[in-house]
Structure 1
Amino acid sequence: MLIEILKSILFGIVEGITEWLPISSTGHMILLDEFVKLNMSDAFIEMFLVVIQLGAILAVVLIFWKRIWPFSKKAPYYIKPDKLSMWLKIFVACVPAAVVGLLFDDYLNALFYNYQTVAIMLIVFGVLFIIIENRNKHRRPQITSIAEITYSAAIAIGVFQLIAAVFPGTSRSGATIVGGILIGMSRTVAAEFTFFLAIPVMAGASLLKIVKFGFAFTGVEIAVLLVGMLVAFITSVFVIKLLMDYIKRHDFKVFGWYRIVLGIAVLVYFMVLA
């Protein structure tokens, strides 16, 4: 059991780092699973790799609580209009991925959850990051606050999120940040909207995986899952704060180059060395 707990700590650290950096948490978790195998059933591992993300999501809730909590004790608005509007846009952005996930989750997992897809999407979106950042170098963002996001912009972000939901290695945060910058958002707004969007998306995905697993957990499985989530939470708190500070002064091209190098390394490893 101790070995499995140590493995879950490693998975939690990787999840907490990669969930928020635009480098693909799912891709890194799939790759980590190739080298660090949990001694659990395939059904548990599939569920674990998704549900561990709940820990990372709780970090967003903690850090941005005042920004996302829509209720007020003060009249006349017991529901804050600006927060209500934000959440409506978030749920609009969730629709494309939610529909496809509910209908085709198992099929897409079987078709695309492999090293080839991960490597290709790491490279493709790495190149896109560099191209879009170069294109926008001298452009002023048109959307500089969450309140300025329109419903059409939210739908556009939802389409980019759908791409990430279908193809592991894309990075949900990477796809939505790229999409946000492409339609005129500032980096800070694109990142914040991505964080908030993750809350219902990851909560829904986790619930779906738990229901499919059947709530039939052993004591060891519960311990492994909770430790992984806790470590992901603690790691995410630090990573989110560092990322928000980083993007105030830097662009995302470094993540683009990282993705390209990692994608090539994955292809070389599995095609030549493995």
Structure 2
Amino acid sequence: MDIGAYVDATILGIVEGLTEFIPVSSTGHLLLMDQLLGFRSTGHVFEIVIQLGAILAILLVYFGRLWQLFITLPTSGRSRHFVAGLIIAFLPAAVIGVLAHDFIKRVLFESPMVICIALVVGGILLLIIDKVPRKVRFDDVMKYPLPLCLKIGFFQCLAMIPGTSRSGATIAGALLMGTDKRSAAEFSFFLAIPTMIGATAYDLFKNRHALSTDDLGLIAVGFVMAFISALFVVRTLLDFVSRRGFAVFAWWRIVVGTIGIILLVTVAPAEPVRSEQPVQATDGAGAPVAGPATEGKEGRLPHQR
């Protein structure tokens, strides 16, 4: 057993849970922590699966309201309106996410500089939005107009750039269009349920070749820690933002992103790790001969230090 790997899985699970529902970008923080810890997972399967822990936390906290929605859906126009709003808000990310999935994973997810810049820019914008006086027109998520929900859904698509933050994009978009801070955060919570379940299911399907029962222990640790830390955030965030707003999260983004940019610019990048490939022995003329090959380990979640 690699104790160091389990320590890293614990840290990453806590980071996922603490950052998933606040506007600081859980994906950006996880990818930067991966770089810092030297943690690598094929197709980012580990990072994908532990998001389910955060989803479970929000399902638990909002179980009563979700159940009430379910049982009143056939008879309540209010419930049907809210569910329709969530579906409409979810659709833009579903469509664009499928179309741009490979580019996002292969290009944007592999660029720490993009993540750091997005953290800083998003922090500055969130700070401005939080401080600028606005006229509140919507304060009940159950009554959000459907066009408003669609606009929030398009804002959520900005979070496909790692470092932007799904919750940050949806909350900022909602605030710009006249919602109050508490309902903006609450709508972001509810919208996270279909968005994260859909994204996780699609990512798992795309990376099904990388799944391995050998890594269930690491994933289980990350999942549990993500659940516990996310539970704390979901239970406390609404009251916090109602009193304090989003400035503290904006400044956190700016500080983390700035430190990251400075380190990326001043510290020489490490030589990239070369994946091991099977090596075929040859004779003097270059013809292949029988002999042991060096076997690669593609398809697992390697933990490289």
TM-score (norm 1): 0.91
| 1:244 lines up with 2:238 in the alignment | yes
The match for 2:154 among 156, 159, 170 is 159
Assess if the C-alpha contact under 8 Å between 1:130 and 1:253 holds in 2: yes
Higher fraction of helix: 1
| 1:22 equivalent in structure 2 | 23
- Matched with 1:86 is 82
Q: How does 1:89-104 map to 2 (within 5 A)?
A: 89-104=85-100
Q: Does 1:253 align with 2:247?
A: yes
Q: Contact 1:15–1:232 at 8 Å: present in 2 too?
A: yes
Rounded Cα–Cα distance in structure 1 between residues aligned with 2:42 and 2:78? 43
- Secondary structure class of the residue paired with 2:191: helix
2:28–2:162 CA contact under 8 A, matched in 1: yes
Q: What is the match of residue 68 of structure 1?
A: 66
Residue 170 of structure 1: how far off its partner (Å): 0.3
Cα contact 1:47–1:210 (8 A) shared by 2: yes
Matched residue, 1:147: 142
> Residue 171 in 1 paired to residue 155 in 2?
no
Alignment counterpart, residue 46 of structure 2, candidates 45, 48, 53 = 48
1:59 aligns with 2:60: no
Contact map agreement 1:57 1:202 (CA 8 A) in 2? yes
The Cα offsets for residues 61-87 of structure 1, whole Å up to 9 and x where unpaired, read as 111112223222x8xx65544333212
Q: 1:105 aligns with which of 90, 98, 101?
A: 101
Q: CA deviation at 1:119?
A: 1.1
> Could you say what secondary structure the match of 1:15 adopts?
helix
How far, CA to CA, are the matches of 2:253 and 2:147 in structure 1? 29
Aligned equivalents of 1:116, 1:63: Cα separation in 2: 35
Distance 1:47 1:79 in 2: 41
Q: 1:217 to 1:268 in 2, by over 3 A?
A: same
Counterpart residue number, 2:126: 129
- Give me the whole-angstrom Cα distance separating, in 1, the residues matched to 2:22 and 2:255: 16
**Conservation of the 8 A alpha-carbon contact between 1:68 and 1:196:** no
Which residue type is aligned with residue 12 of structure 1?
Answer: G
Q: In 2, Cα distance between the equivalents of 1:181 and 1:263?
A: 23
Distance 2:103 2:187 in 1: 29
- After superposition, what is the alpha-carbon deviation per residue over 1:102-121, rounded to whole angstroms, capped at 9, x for unaligned? 11201122222211111111
Change over 3 Å in CA distance of 1:100–1:266 after alignment to 2 = same
Amino acid across the alignment from 2:99: L
Q: Give the number of equivalent residue pairs.
A: 265
Report if the CA contact (8 A) 2:81-2:143 is conserved. no
The CA RMSD measured in Å over matched residues stands at: 1.7
Q: Secondary structure at the match of 1:141?
A: coil
Distance 1:226-1:132 versus aligned 2 partners, 3 A rule: same
Structure 1 stretches of at least 4 aligned residues deviating more than 4 Å after TM superposition: 77-80
Kindly name which structure, 1 or 2, has the bigger radius of gyration based on alpha carbons: 2
TM-score, normalised to structure 2, is 0.82
SS in 2 for 1:249: helix
Identify the residue that residue 289 of structure 2 maps to in structure 1: none
Structure 2 distance, partners of 1:79, 1:4, is 51
The alpha-carbon deviation at position 216 of structure 1 amounts to: 6.0
- Ranges in structure 1 where 5+ consecutive residues have no aligned partner: none
The separation in 1 between residues aligned to 2:178 and 2:242, in whole angstroms, is 16
